[in-house]
Amino acid sequence: MSREFKVGLTWRALFAIITAALLFIPINLYLNLVTGGTIAIAALYVIAILFSELSRIAGSPLTMNEIFVI
């Protein structure tokens, strides 16, 4: 039995990663400086759920491989 692996690093996953980096890293840095806490763990789940649902609404849902990469 051989398994065929699908690529998870697509242009949609790269777009989600770049957008998340541009939005969540400055917010995380600001919260770290002001309050001493971070939202890094919660941001991972928010990013994955947000992009998964947005792509589903747009009509082409993300594959499990793409969500895992995000």
Tokens describing residue 5: 């692996």
Residue 57, domain member (yes or no): yes
* Residue-number span of the structural domain to which 19 is assigned: 11-69
- Per-residue burial over 46-64, b = 16 or more CB atoms within 10 Å of its CB, e = otherwise: ebbebbbeebeeeeeebbe
Residue 56: the pLDDT is 93
Residue 3, domain member (yes or no): no
Residue 55, domain member (yes or no): yes
Higher-pLDDT residue of 52, 4: 52
Q: How do residues 14-38 score in pLDDT, each as one tens digit?
A: 999 999 899 888 988 999 999 988 8
Give the number of domains in the chain. Answer: 1
Q: Is the dihedral of CA 56, 62, 67, 70 positive or negative?
A: negative
